[in-house]
Structure 1
Amino acid sequence: MVHAEHVRFSYHADKNVLRDVCLKEETGHCIALLGNNGVGKSTFLKCFNRILKPDSGTVLVENLNISKASRKEIALTLAYVEQHTSAGRLTVYDTVLLGRKPHMKMTPSEEDYAIVDNAIERLHLTGLKLRYTDELSGGELQKVMLARALAQQPKVLLLDEPTASLDIYNQHEVMKIASGIASEDNMTVMVVIHDLNLALKYCDRFLLMHEGKAFDYGDISVITSENIKAVYGVNTVITEMEGNKIVIVK
């Protein structure tokens, strides 16, 4: 279970980014964080991982209070994939192996190698594992970062705009993988995402944020034209096509 209670955060004393955000959800769901630019979505995600320390409020993952946890406890509990990933002169295999660092004592064990192999296979990266990450396309690199996070074996996976700058094929591929991780591994996946239709296709919980607060939260029923107008300021029609809910801007 993830539980954020009355989370507040400000970068400057005179400007609150998060005013009072609450969220409570059981494991096994893919949660989309939705709202306009600057509303605090990425900030809220970083407060979960204590990259940013909330000014007040509590973040709990199962029984772990993130504000009181050690960095190792956090690394064993949450994995974070940032929005802009830098490629380095490491192979795909060694990059994914870095995800095992919180679990290692001195050197990687046979279990560590097996977990890395499994993560690489699940992300369809087997043919690339000896390639250097700075030789990869944007979509390939994003899948490597997901594999590294998966190898970390967290309880919660935090993804900050994982589809940004990707082509349509890789947008769907990355979100399909994220959704599959939530359901197959009984993991909580939280995704900052701007494309409402991608979110509707692959996520099953939705946090609508507005003016630094949680405007609404729940299943697909919270995605209404009225809520979208209030949060985004645009008029939309919501329809269905081949079993999928679709948002069309008027």
Structure 2
Amino acid sequence: MEKGDKLKSIRMAVLEEQDAWDNRDMSELARKPKLDRNDWTDITGFDPDKPVGSDEPDRLGMYLITDEAISFCGWDEDFIRSQPVRLRSDMRRQNNHRLTFPCTPRELVEFVDADVHFSGCLYDSLPDGFRKAVATSYESYDIQSDASLGAAVRQQRKNFAERQRESQEEREREFQRWREEGAAIQKERSRKASNRHLAELIKASLNLPDSIETIRKRL
């Protein structure tokens, strides 16, 4: 096997392994009453590589991750006061953005989604499979089997499932826009681009904030 073919084969194997990870069955995790730090790792695949005994904290973007919580690292008050007044309230709210373990699957989804209005560091950290499994678990929950659930709780569950479904539909429309742009790009090329290169071209063409890997996986 030529060197170039061997590298291509290795790269394809890595991508296939990543796709298998992203598309794995997450229904068991979505049904757990409470999630902990280890569940977060199983769901997101985020587990920093660092030497054993290192004092360096685990971070994901601007978030600190411990066994107790996921917390925004925080803006210094002096820095906040140096910013325009219209931004200060949101920056202080972001300082309080924290998810304590153990948490419910729904709390995890809502925590991650709320970051869209802050730093965006958690964007795409939850696989679609987990989101769908969480939404499905709330839709299929047999509320009649638990007489202690009041109307307000049932409505809350219903609203959450509906928001998740709407969010999934919105993301799918965006992914379809990427695919259509990709098809247009390929049509204009004399030689087809690889999925990774095509993702790079789509990202540049649509000026997307998403990572190349995220775009590639949706083609």
- TM-score of the superposed pair, with normalisation by structure 1: 0.28
Higher relative contact order (CA 8 A, sep 6+): 1
Q: Which has the higher strand share?
A: 1
For the pair shown, the structure with the greater C-alpha radius of gyration is 2
User: What TM-score do the two structures reach when normalised by structure 2?
Assistant: 0.31
